[in-house]
Structure 1
Amino acid sequence: MNFRTLNTALLSCLLAMVLVIPAQAGHHAKDQATDAIVLAAFGTSYPEALNSILNIRSKVEKAFPGVPVKLAFTSSIIRDIWHERQNDAAWQKNNAGVPSDILTVKGPLATIADLQDEGYTSIAVQSLHVFAGEEFSDLTQTMLGLRSIRAIKAKSVPFKSLRLGRPALGMPGVVYPYTEDIAYATKALKADVDAAKKLDAALVYMGHGNDFYSTGIYAQFQSEMQKAYNHPIFVGCVEGYPAFDDMLVQLKASGVKKVLLKPFMIVAGDHATNDMAGDEDDAWKVMLTKAGIDVTIDLHGLGSMDAWADIYVRHLKDAKTQKHMLP
C-alpha cells in the first residue's frame, strides 16, 4: 500500500469514527442545565414571513421547557440584511414585532460556539430545511467538524454531545427511513388538500429545490400526496427537477382549470412573494394564468402550519435520544 492509499484509508476511518463514536460523556439528568437547542433555518429577510420560523420555535420551546432554543440562519446574505437593520431606527419602529434576537442572528457555527462559551455542552441542532440538499449537507459538515474535536484531557473537550436532527422529508439512512418521513409529511398537509378541494382546484406547490443535489424527492413526495388523497396535487421547483415546465405538462394533462398555489417552503419569503405570486412574466401565477388556469394564491409558509412544525419537534426528539450524532 503506497502512502497516498494509506492516507486515504486513514481519513475514511476517521470520518467513520466521527459518525459513530458516542458522546464522551453520558447524557444524564444532572446534565440538563447544560442542554441547548439550535434551530437552523435558511432564513428570510421578510418580517411577515418570520412567523413561520417563530411558530416552529414556539412549538420546540413548549416541547422542551427550560431548555434554551436559539435560531440560526444558514444564509449569510439573509444574516447580513438583518444585521444592517440593527442601525436603522426607522425600520425597527415600523417593524416593532420583530424579535430583537433576529437582528443579531448568526450562522449555526457561531451560534453553537456562543452556547458552548456560555457553558452549554450538550447541544442538539435541528435542521429546518425541507429536504437533505445543499444547505443540510453544509450543516452536516459543520457538525462533523465540531464533533471531531479531541483534547488531551477529557474535560477539555468542548462538547459532551452534539446531535443533528434530519430535515422534514428525512435523509438517507436506515435508522429513520425517509419514506416514513414522507408519509408523515403527507399527513401533515391534509389541511392544504382540504382547502384545494373546497375550491374545486388542484393543489400546486412551489418548492425551492437545488441545482447541485438530486431533487427527485419532490417528485416522490408528489406521488405520495396523490395516492394518499386521490386528488390532483403537483410539485415544481425553482431550482432542479421537477421544474415549472415539468409540472405544467402534468397539470395540463390532468385537465384541471383551477389551482390553489402555495409555497412548499418553510417561509413565504422572496421566492413565494415574487417568483410564485409576483406580477412579472416569469412568475408562476402569471405563467399559469397565461396557460388558461385560474389561480388562487396562499402565501403561507409550511412553518406556519402546526402540523408541519410538529415534524421538526418529532425529529428533534429523535435526535436528542439517538446514540450517534446522525441517524
Structure 2
Amino acid sequence: MNTPLHCHPHNHDGSGHDHGHDHHDHDHNHHHDRNDDHDHHHDHGHDHVRPKPVRPGILLAAFGVAMAQARRGYEQMEAEVREQFPGIPVAWAYTAHKVRKKLAAMGQGHDSVAVALSRLHDDGVTHLAVQSLHTVPGVEYHWTHSQAMAFVHPRKGFREIALGAPLLTSEKDLDRAALALQSYIPAERLPDEAVVLVGHGTYHQGQQRYLDFEARVRLRDPHVFLGALMSRSGETLGVSSIISRLQEANISRCRLLPFMSVPGHHVLVDILGESPRSWKHRLQAAGIEVLSEPTGTLEHCPFRALWMDHLRHAFASLHLENKAASNHGHGEHHAHI
C-alpha cells in the first residue's frame, strides 16, 4: 500500500494577478441609418484604443450528480482549485442533461456548459481554462470541447480557451492512475480477492482508455478487472463478461469499487444497489461474494492530483499578457487543448 500522493505539489502564486486596464469593446454592428445618440468616436488610426482588461477564469465541467451526499468529491475539487488559484473566478457545468433536469425539478437548477460559458463571458472573463472532470475522453468530454471552442471569438466571445484533459488521456496518465489505484483499493483486501472496478462507459472511441487502463493495472495486479455500465457487444467491459472472467480465474470473492468521480445514482443504484439488475446482485447471483464501498475517484487525493495537474497545465497555457493594444483592441484569440 503506497502512501497517497500529495494533493498540492505546486504553489500557484501569481495566478490571480489583476490586469486592471480600462477599455470599451466597440460593437460596430449598430444601425447607423437611425439618429441614435451613439458617440463612437471612430478613429481609424486606432490611437485611442486602450487594452481590454485581461481576466482569467476556470470552468469545472463534470458529468454531474443530483444526490447532495455524493457531491463531496466536487466540493473537495473546488476547494483545492480555489486554494491553488486564489482570486480566479471558478464556475461549474454539468454535462448530463438528465442530472440537470432532475436538479431543476428539485429547485436546484445547474448550468449546462453553454450556459456556464455565457455567464463567465458576461462576467468579463476573457481567458478561460475548462477542466474536464470526466474519466475518459468520450462523448461527454468531446461535447464539452465542441461547445467551449464555439465560444472563442476576438470580440463576441473569449479571447482564449484551454481545455484540461480527462483523468485517463495520455500514457503518463495511465501510469499515474495505476499508481493511484494502489491506495484506492482498501488496505484490508486479501491476496485471493479480486478487485472489480466499474466505470460509466461511453459510446465513443474514448472507451478504449478503460481497456488500456485495465491492461496497465493488470501488469502489476492480474486480479484487477475493469468493467463499464455502458459497453458494446464484443467488449469485455459488461457485467456478464466480468463474471465469466472471474469464474475462469476461479475467483469467489471480490471488492466491487466504483471507478467514477463521485458516488451518485449510477454507483448507489446501478452498481451497488439491491435490485436484480445491479452489478452487486449479478455477481452475488453468480456465487461470488461481494465486498463493496460507495466512493468516488475524485474523493481520493492521488486521482484528484492528476486532474489538478491537467488544470494547471491548461491554465498555464493561457496567454494572460495583454496583447490587445497591438491588435487594435480586438485581442488575439486562441482555442486549444
Does the TM-score normalized on the shorter chain lie above 0.5? yes
Q: CA RMSD in A?
A: 2.2
Aligned counterpart in structure 2 of residue 224 of structure 1, from 216, 226, 234: 216
Any conservation in 1 of the 2:189–2:255 contact (CA below 8 Å)?
A: no
User: TM-score, length-normalised on structure 1?
Assistant: 0.77
Query: Which residue does the alignment assign to 1:7?
Result: none
Q: Tell me the amino acid that sits aligned with residue 216 of structure 2.
A: E
In structure 1, list runs of 5 or more residues that go unmatched.
Answer: 1-26, 87-102, 151-155, 171-177
Query: Which residue does the alignment assign to 2:162?
Result: 163
Q: Tell me the amino acid that sits aligned with residue 187 of structure 2.
A: A
Q: Tell me the amino acid that sits aligned with residue 75 of structure 1.
A: A
Closer/same/farther in 2, CA of residues 81 and 28 from structure 1, 3 Å limit: closer
- CA shift for structure 1 position 249: 2.1
- Based on CA coordinates, which of the two structures has the bigger radius of gyration? 2
- For 1:221 and 1:69, the matched residues in 2 are separated by 30
1:73 and 2:94 aligned: yes
Q: C-alpha offsets along residues 202-249 of structure 1, whole Å, 9 cap, x if unaligned? A: 111111112344522212111111223x35100111112321122222
- CA shift for structure 1 position 252: 1.6
Any conservation in 1 of the 2:57–2:128 contact (CA below 8 Å)?
A: yes
1:307 and 2:302 aligned: yes
Q: Tell me the amino acid that sits aligned with residue 151 of structure 2.
A: L
The residue correspondences of 1:197-216 to structure 2 (distance < 5 A) are 197-198=189-190, 200-216=192-208
Any conservation in 1 of the 2:133–2:261 contact (CA below 8 Å)?
A: yes
Q: Tell me the amino acid that sits aligned with residue 165 of structure 2.
A: R
- Of Structure 1 and Structure 2, the greater helix share is in 1
SS in 2 for 1:260: strand
- For 2:212 and 2:126, the matched residues in 1 are separated by 38
Query: Which residue does the alignment assign to 2:83?
Result: 62
1:114 and 2:157 aligned: no
- For 1:194 and 1:84, the matched residues in 2 are separated by 37
Query: Which residue does the alignment assign to 2:255?
Result: 260
- For 1:31 and 1:188, the matched residues in 2 are separated by 38
- For 2:85 and 2:312, the matched residues in 1 are separated by 9
Query: Which residue does the alignment assign to 2:323?
Result: none
- For 1:144 and 1:119, the matched residues in 2 are separated by 17
SS in 1 for 2:302: helix
Query: Which residue does the alignment assign to 2:183?
Result: 191
Any conservation in 2 of the 1:319–1:325 contact (CA below 8 Å)?
A: no
Any conservation in 1 of the 2:178–2:217 contact (CA below 8 Å)?
A: yes
1:140 and 2:148 aligned: no
Q: Tell me the amino acid that sits aligned with residue 88 of structure 2.
A: V
SS in 1 for 2:183: helix
- CA shift for structure 1 position 104: 3.6
Any conservation in 1 of the 2:258–2:294 contact (CA below 8 Å)?
A: yes
Query: Which residue does the alignment assign to 2:336?
Result: 326
1:279 and 2:274 aligned: yes
User: TM-score, length-normalised on structure 2?
Assistant: 0.75
Closer/same/farther in 2, CA of residues 28 and 249 from structure 1, 3 Å limit: same
SS in 2 for 1:265: coil
Aligned counterpart in structure 2 of residue 46 of structure 1, from 23, 44, 67: 67
Any conservation in 2 of the 1:52–1:303 contact (CA below 8 Å)?
A: yes
Aligned counterpart in structure 1 of residue 239 of structure 2, from 235, 244, 248: 244
Q: Tell me the amino acid that sits aligned with residue 227 of structure 1.
A: L
How many pairs does the alignment contain? 271
Query: Which residue does the alignment assign to 1:96?
Result: none
Query: Which residue does the alignment assign to 1:298?
Result: 293
Any conservation in 2 of the 1:59–1:309 contact (CA below 8 Å)?
A: no
- For 2:206 and 2:159, the matched residues in 1 are separated by 34
Deviates more, 1:31-40 or 1:312-321: 31-40
SS in 1 for 2:225: strand
Q: Tell me the amino acid that sits aligned with residue 242 of structure 2.
A: M
Any conservation in 2 of the 1:165–1:326 contact (CA below 8 Å)?
A: no
Percent identical pairs in the alignment equals 26
- CA shift for structure 1 position 201: 1.8
- CA shift for structure 1 position 141: 0.8
Q: C-alpha offsets along residues 2-41 of structure 1, whole Å, 9 cap, x if unaligned? A: xxxxxxxxxxxxxxxxxxxxxxxxx995549711111000
- For 2:207 and 2:159, the matched residues in 1 are separated by 35
- For 2:191 and 2:296, the matched residues in 1 are separated by 20
1:235 and 2:256 aligned: no
